[in-house]
Structure 1
Amino acid sequence: MRINSNTCVLGKSVILVPYRAEHVPRYHEWMRDPHLQQTTASEPLTMDEEYEMQRSWAEDEDKLTFIVLDRSLPDTSGTGSHGGAMAGDVNLFFTLGGEEEEAAGGRQSAEIEVMIAELASRGKGLAKEALRLLMAYATRELGVKRYVAKIHEVNQPSRSLFEGLGFTEFRRVPVFGEVHYELQVSKSVDCWLCALQDSLVYGSYD
């Protein structure tokens, strides 16, 4: 999505930066891992396909993605200017469609997901902070009012992560082995979401 093509969002432990071509080789390495393929329901891509996917993320107005940088690890940009090491990504998809989209008022509803791929960055709470920052950004800048997470039923760590953020189960899809969660932006989450919107710190990603 072009709206975040030059924007980074600064958090305490993470920095969210736009997915650029420079990130593709490391991202491609991550997605060769069978475990990550399984947990993200992804198919392995060639390097050329990965670059094409990156271009799609940058241009498609139905997709919003940030690379998650771990601020506690050395900068891996090669220039030392980005503030941390690549750790994973966090994404939104405006592709729910059908009754879900109609009920939520069109593009006010989005599917959300997060991946912390680097072993050295797991267990630090980065996924939770990245999700909170993305939701605050998307609610503030794009007007998103409802977030949906589709998680494999055996992925208990991910289910616990979203439940801890206030997501509630609303559907099960046995044929895919998925549990679907939602979070409606309302008074129940205003205590942290509104506060985050008001305190978001942006930077420019050069």
Structure 2
Amino acid sequence: MGEEAGQQRDAAGGDQGVQAGQQAGRSVVAALAGDWRAARDVRPESPESGVRSVALGAITSSSCSHNAERTAELGRAGGGRGVTFGGMRLNHLALAVRDIERSRRFYEKYFDFGAGPASEYPDGTVIIRDADRFDLALHPDPDPRKMPDFSHFGFACPDGATVNQRLELLTADGVPIVERYDEPRFSSFKCLDPDGYVIEVYWEPA
């Protein structure tokens, strides 16, 4: 009886391990496909092994909790904005612009890129920063290439009211608004910068 019970426990543990592995696999596939919400929501857990998933399907246990904590520390040290993975963080955007000062005024006024002194380089590039140390590099170009219609970059807001406030400010100053969504769980608009780059300002619940 003891041997039979042990075999049953092993079989159950194996089934749980397979299920956890399948769920983790779905998480990774979803992440690779760009579906971050689906990847985040898959959280396999095996009571027998104590293995639990964390965000984006990164599986951890007591043996690797130190690495998970270290990764979190690196993300916090990087400023906390955007997606972090393995200590890496997206931290700058480079735009070719016709008029450096015009673009600089636009991003400093509407998108808070006025924290700290700007950095200037011999080729004419100027880098401005926000409070989270995200760098926006502006490089002079008399004829910036047209981007594909889908191309854009975005700024996340803490709530829908902030989206509306920023929209009112841009609209009052005559900045072109090219798209607007206002739904109970999603609020966004897209506008054009002085060189025609599309910028999205949005909010959605975490």
TM-score (norm 2): 0.27
TM-score using structure 1 length = 0.27
Which gives a bigger RCO, structure 1 or 2 (Cα 8 Å, sep 6+)?
1
- Of structures 1 and 2, the larger Rg is shown by 2
